[in-house]
Amino acid sequence: GNSVTQMEGPVTLSEEAFLTINCTYTATGYPSLFWYVQYPGEGLQLLLKATKADDKGSNKGFEATYRKETTSFHLEKGSVQVSDSAVYFCALGGGSNDYKLSFGAGTTVTVRA
Amino acid sequence: GAGVSQSPRYKVAKRGQDVALRCDPISGHVSLFWYQQALGQGPEFLTYFQNEAQLDKSGLPSDRFFAERPEGSVSTLKIQRTQQEDSAVYLCASVQPWSSGGQETQYFGPGTRLLVL
C-alpha cells in the first residue's frame, strides 16, 4: 500500500537559514504528492502540491519537486522566517488509493530570530 | 461558511462514555473524510463518504467507531464506550467534486481534540 517516510525532527534553525525536509514515498500507480503545514493552534493547511512526475509545487517561498526516479518530494525554502515555525507533513494520495491521503509523521520546525 | 468547521473543539470524556463529533464541510463539497491524529503522529485515515454513501470505512479501528452523513452534508463521528487509546485529534476534510485526472485537494477542519480519562 501507499506510505510516506519523512525526515524526523525537531529541526531548529536561525532566521534566513536554508530549510530542507526530506520526504520519500512508496506507492502504486501515479499518486499526487502534498505538503501540508500545521501552525501552532491551527488546523492543517495545504502548502503545495504536485500531481505528476517532474512537477514542481511552490507557495510562500517553499518548493518541492515530484521525483519519480528517487520516489521523493523534498520540501525546501531558501530563507526561513520565524513565522515558518510549524509542523510540516508530507502526504500522498491517488494512485491505487483514489481518495485517501497517507501522511508522514510530521516534522516540527522552529525558527529562532 | 468559508471553511470546514468541527465541533466541539475539545472534548473530555470519562472512559466508557459515548461521544459524538460533528463536521460541517465546505458547502457543495461532495466528498468527506475523517482522520485520526495521535499525538506526535500524522493523520490516519478512518472513513470516507461520497454524498451520503460511506464508501470506505476500512480505517475505523473498532466497531465502537461509527460515522454517518445522512443528508450528504454534515457528518457525525460517534465513538461508543470510549477508551484511553481513543484520545487523539479527530480531523474532518472535504473535497470538491472530482475533476478528471489528479488528486483533488482536501480541505481540513481545525479538528476535535478528544481526551479520554
**Nearest-CB residue to B45 (from A32, A46, A101):** A101
Pairs of residues, one from chain A and one from chain B, whose beta carbons lie less than 8 Å apart? 64
Across the range B22-42, mean pLDDT stands at 93
pLDDT at A98: 64
Mean model confidence pLDDT for chain A: 92
pLDDT at B108: 93
User: Is residue B59 less than 8 Å (CB to CB) from chain A?
Assistant: yes
Interface test with A, best of B10, B103, B104 (most A CBs within 10 A): B103
CA angle B107, B111, B112 (to 5 degrees): 155
**What does the pLDDT look like over B39-90, one tens digit per residue?**
989 999 999 999 999 999 999 999 999 999 999 999 999 999 999 999 999 9
Across the range A63-81, mean pLDDT stands at 97
Amino acid identity at B92? C
Contacts of residue A4 in chain B, CB cutoff 8 Å? 42
Q: With bands split at pLDDT 50, 70 and 90, how would you rate the model's confidence at A9? A: confident
Distance from CA of B29 to the nearest CA of A (A): 14
**A86-94 and A97-103 strand pairing:** antiparallel
What is the DSSP code (8-state) at residue A33? E
Query: CB under 8 Å to A55, separation ≥6 — which residues?
Result: A65, A66
Q: Please report where in the chains the cell 531558501 appears, as a residue.
A: A78
pLDDT at B2: 77
pLDDT at B19: 98
User: Is residue A66 less than 8 Å (CB to CB) from chain B?
Assistant: no
| Per-window interface: B 61-100 vs A, CB < 8 A | 91, 93, 95
The residue of chain A with its CA nearest to that of B58 is: A100
How many C-beta neighbours within 10 Å does residue A96 have?
11
Give the whole-angstrom CA distance, residue A1 versus residue A26.
8
**What does the pLDDT look like over B92-103, one tens digit per residue?**
999 876 554 445
Give the whole-angstrom CA distance, residue A8 versus residue B42.
12
Q: Do A89 and B43 touch (CB under 8 A)?
A: yes
* pLDDT at position A97 over 90: no
Across the range A29-58, mean pLDDT stands at 91
